Structure 1
Amino acid sequence: MKTTSSLFLILFSLMIIPLTMNAQGCVAIRHFSSSMGNELEGNLLRKGDFQAGMNYRYFKSFRHFKGTEEEPDRVSNNTEVINYSHSWDFSLNYGITDRLYAGITIPTVLNERSSLYEHGREERNMTFSRGLADIRLGVGYWILDPEKHENGNFAMGLGLKLPTGNYNATDIFYNVGPENSSQVRPVDQSIQPGDGGFGLTVDLQFYRSLATDLFIYGGGFYLLNPRETNGIRTFRETLSPILQNEAVMSVPDQYAVRAGLGYNLSSQFAASLGARFEGVPVEDVIGGSGGFRRPGNVLSIDPGISYMRNNFSINLNVPVAFRRERPQSVTDLETERITGTPRNGDAAFADYLINLGISYRFGGNRATFPEIESNSNLPFIE
């Protein structure tokens, strides 16, 4: 017979599987995660419960790909683009009822980008961006009654992404003006804090007990961004006349899916191992897909470990990429048709992503959901 703390640990261990889209490289416009935050356990709330959390993420992208083929000469020739990305998600979730929950995620970012081609190809220089990113609001609902389906459940959610992040962050670019002078220009879209569009997110998450202390989890989200472009100039047309169709920034959709196994190691520690697939599509589901974007996707192995004590929890997971792809964009295909020459832009990807989360539950009924008696059957036990 399990204890309440053991149940809480199993539920909390799902936190190490963040439903996150953080774009391991310069594929996505900016860091993004589901509107309901990054932890399933944060959505298993009693009526009146709050859970506050903070997630920190970091990656360094520098490996260039066209299609699924890496371009190792970019690193050996010192022409690679390097992005350093730091992001902090501050979230608060609330149990409206035992099955209906709501949440807000307030993200902040600090980005750094090093390149040659953006500075006249004469010398390597840095550009920066920082500040508030796009705030997300959302609601979700557990489809099955948790008290009657303790061994597994699934939830569906809807969210709204607000264009609160700056999508016209600027910095100094060198050797690009008259007589190789410097100019203030918008930074690359991969480090813009926001994208400039209202978005709608849909998400799904589930868990199921397989045996004592062992469970399966999964879920995913899709961000619908109806706005086609945000009007911000990229200056890519100054690099080559054939890039005229990439002169303004696109506002692309994004998505992420993940699944895996979790295991309760002890009364305070849990571990998991899963896979995640995330990316930016070539074309949006709703609205046009013109303007400049770097579509791409990453398939990663996602190990993690977590620790819980009372209402406090901390988790660490490190997704490691083993397949990266930068497909042809809409503008690549347009240019190929016009010129008759094959074209596939490249993108830089990271080898791994570091994700560290901290959360605390308070208010309402602090017993972990579902509330149980000491002699009752618990979730995750067949």
Structure 2
Amino acid sequence: MKIQRTFFKMAIGFIPLLFWHSMRGQGCVVIRHFSSCSGAFPQSGLLGEGELMLGVNYRYFKSFRHFRGTEEEPDRVSNGTEVINHSHAWDFTATYGISDRWFATLAIPTVINTRSSLYEHGREERNTTYSRGLADIRWSVGYWLLDPLEQPKGNIAIALGMKLPTGNFNASDIFYNVGVDGRPEVRPVDQSIQPGDGGFGISAEFQYYWEFLPKLFMYGGGFYLSNPREINGTRTFRETLNPLLENEAIMSVPDQYSLRMGLTRVLSEAFTASLGARFDAVPVRDFIGGSGGFRRPGNVLSIDPGITCLRGNFGLTLSVPVAVRRERPQSVTDLETELLTGTPRNGDAAFADYVLNLGLVYRFGRKGIPIDPDLRDAFKPAEE
């Protein structure tokens, strides 16, 4: 039983390190609420055959700091013209052990978003638009490349999955001072708070861990979500703001990706702590398919501290990535306009200072993976 406890502690000790569900990093740049299909717990693949792990993950951020390139525009906050997004998202995940090395994950996300701005309401007054409901469901199948029985101190997993267009990508609300004679008008909300993106996506993922010192682990991972669909047909009304934005009249269905790495330390039988870095991004151009329509490309580099508590079959984790570098690069429209006019152009985007991630899982069955007697010492704590 002690061997199984230690093994399970090792497996679940990486929980705060690889919080996939923050992929939609910080603010209205990394726009989709997309968790890795491996669920909130990176070692969820280390399940015995027939074992099941259920989880719920909550994520919150407030984006309000505007950037062009890597330069912040602090005057937007001081003069009250900043755009403010509040994003709340919940992922309900299930990970099943197909075998000791194969695993499958299903993630069902829901969101509640608000967006407060001046420019979307005729620049006359600040108003708020809302969206809520089911987001884009994801599933994946993964495989641990090394046999956990033979390589207990480190492993790497790869996974392939799909994102389904189950979220509403044409959610609408009332916009003020924009209709005929300044009347209110119902329009689609901004792309940053749409629950879905309207496209089928293909995800490629990886994750790894390695114990290089007793109770001290290195971790890492990432994914790339490819959205082959170019545009989803939802109107942005951006062409009414500036004729140069004519090609941004319809929303794009952009790719996105995330990378992370760091260290985790086992503090006790109940607690582990981690410190790492993560990089979340929406690229300017897609890997497959066209890149037309409106998108806000951007990326965020964050320092990601976390802590995990394990009690029985329950695991609780808290992770708070803090942005240290934010960039809104030139979009396709920016590049085309600069080429046409000869004048430098770079749109802006609002980012958050931090993201709050909170996760809870319950593991059904703790039989663990059978351990060869010759390998048992590898699972004993240093003090034993």
Residue equivalent to 1:195: 197
Which one-letter code corresponds to 1:341 in the other structure?
T
Any idea what SS the aligned residue of 1:57 has?
A: strand
Within the alignment, does 1:111 sit opposite 2:113 as a pair? yes
Residue equivalent to 2:39: 37
Query: Equivalents in 1 of 2:159, 2:94: separation in Å?
Result: 16
TM-superposed CA distance for 1:379, in Å, is 4.6
TM-superposed CA distance for 1:6, in Å, is 3.4
Residue equivalent to 2:7: 7
Which one-letter code corresponds to 1:4 in the other structure?
Q
Residue equivalent to 1:355: 357
Query: Equivalents in 1 of 2:196, 2:228: separation in Å?
Result: 15
Which deviates the most, 372-381 or 36-45?
A: 372-381
TM-superposed CA distance for 1:93, in Å, is 0.5
TM-superposed CA distance for 1:28, in Å, is 2.6
TM-superposed CA distance for 1:340, in Å, is 2.1
Residue equivalent to 1:378: 378
Q: Is the 8 A contact 1:26 1:190 kept in 2?
A: yes
Match for 2:184 among 182, 189, 206? Answer: 182
Within the alignment, does 1:28 sit opposite 2:26 as a pair? no
TM-superposed CA distance for 1:376, in Å, is 1.7
TM-superposed CA distance for 1:34, in Å, is 1.1
Corresponding pairs, count? 379
Which one-letter code corresponds to 2:5 in the other structure?
S
Query: Equivalents in 2 of 1:111, 1:60: separation in Å?
Result: 10
Residue equivalent to 1:224: 226
Alignment of 1:298-337 (within 5 A): 298-337=300-339
Which one-letter code corresponds to 1:11 in the other structure?
A
Residue equivalent to 2:20: 19
Within the alignment, does 1:342 sit opposite 2:365 as a pair? no
Query: Equivalents in 1 of 2:192, 2:86: separation in Å?
Result: 10
Q: Is the 8 A contact 1:81 1:114 kept in 2?
A: yes
Query: Equivalents in 2 of 1:59, 1:247: separation in Å?
Result: 27
Query: Equivalents in 2 of 1:318, 1:380: separation in Å?
Result: 31
Which one-letter code corresponds to 1:12 in the other structure?
I
What is the TM-score when the length of structure 2 is the normalising length?
0.96
Q: Is the 8 A contact 1:91 1:105 kept in 2?
A: yes
Query: Equivalents in 2 of 1:272, 1:232: separation in Å?
Result: 41
Q: Is the 8 A contact 1:108 1:131 kept in 2?
A: yes
* Residue deviations 1:2-21 (CA, integer Å, cap 9, x gap): 75333322321211021230
Any idea what SS the aligned residue of 2:177 has?
A: coil
Which deviates the most, 32-41 or 223-232?
A: 32-41
Query: Equivalents in 2 of 1:180, 1:380: separation in Å?
Result: 71
Q: Is the 8 A contact 1:278 1:298 kept in 2?
A: yes
Which one-letter code corresponds to 2:13 in the other structure?
S
Within the alignment, does 1:146 sit opposite 2:159 as a pair? no
TM-superposed CA distance for 1:375, in Å, is 8.6
Any idea what SS the aligned residue of 1:334 has?
A: helix
Q: Is the 8 A contact 1:329 1:344 kept in 2?
A: yes
Which one-letter code corresponds to 1:19 in the other structure?
W
Which one-letter code corresponds to 1:239 in the other structure?
L
Q: Is the 8 A contact 2:219 2:261 kept in 1?
A: yes
- Mind listing any 5+ residue stretches in structure 2 that lack a counterpart? none
* Residue deviations 1:310-339 (CA, integer Å, cap 9, x gap): 111100010000000000011111111222
Residue equivalent to 2:93: 91
What is the TM-score when the length of structure 1 is the normalising length?
0.96
Any idea what SS the aligned residue of 2:377 has?
A: coil
Find runs of 4+ consecutive structure 1 residues off by over 4 angstroms.
369-375, 379-382
Residue equivalent to 1:171: 173
Query: Equivalents in 2 of 1:319, 1:298: separation in Å?
Result: 10
TM-superposed CA distance for 1:43, in Å, is 1.6
Query: Equivalents in 1 of 2:374, 2:65: separation in Å?
Result: 53
TM-superposed CA distance for 1:151, in Å, is 0.9
Q: Is the 8 A contact 1:19 1:257 kept in 2?
A: no
Query: Equivalents in 1 of 2:349, 2:283: separation in Å?
Result: 14
Any idea what SS the aligned residue of 1:32 has?
A: coil
Match for 2:48 among 38, 46, 49? Answer: 46
TM-superposed CA distance for 1:291, in Å, is 0.6
Within the alignment, does 1:270 sit opposite 2:291 as a pair? no
TM-superposed CA distance for 1:220, in Å, is 0.3
Residue equivalent to 1:120: 122
Any idea what SS the aligned residue of 1:289 has?
A: coil
Residue equivalent to 2:164: 162
Any idea what SS the aligned residue of 2:376 has?
A: coil
Q: CA RMSD in A?
A: 1.6
Any idea what SS the aligned residue of 2:155 has?
A: strand
Query: Equivalents in 2 of 1:230, 1:196: separation in Å?
Result: 6
* Residue deviations 1:179-229 (CA, integer Å, cap 9, x gap): 110000000000000000000000010000111111100000000000000
Q: Is the 8 A contact 1:19 1:219 kept in 2?
A: no
* Residue deviations 1:141-170 (CA, integer Å, cap 9, x gap): 000111001110100000010000000000
Identity score, percent: 64
TM-superposed CA distance for 1:33, in Å, is 1.3
Residue equivalent to 1:214: 216
Q: Is the 8 A contact 1:10 1:270 kept in 2?
A: no
* Residue deviations 1:242-264 (CA, integer Å, cap 9, x gap): 11111000000000010000001
Are the structure 2 counterparts of residues 370 and 55 from structure 1 closer, same or farther at C-alpha, using a change threshold of 3 Å? farther
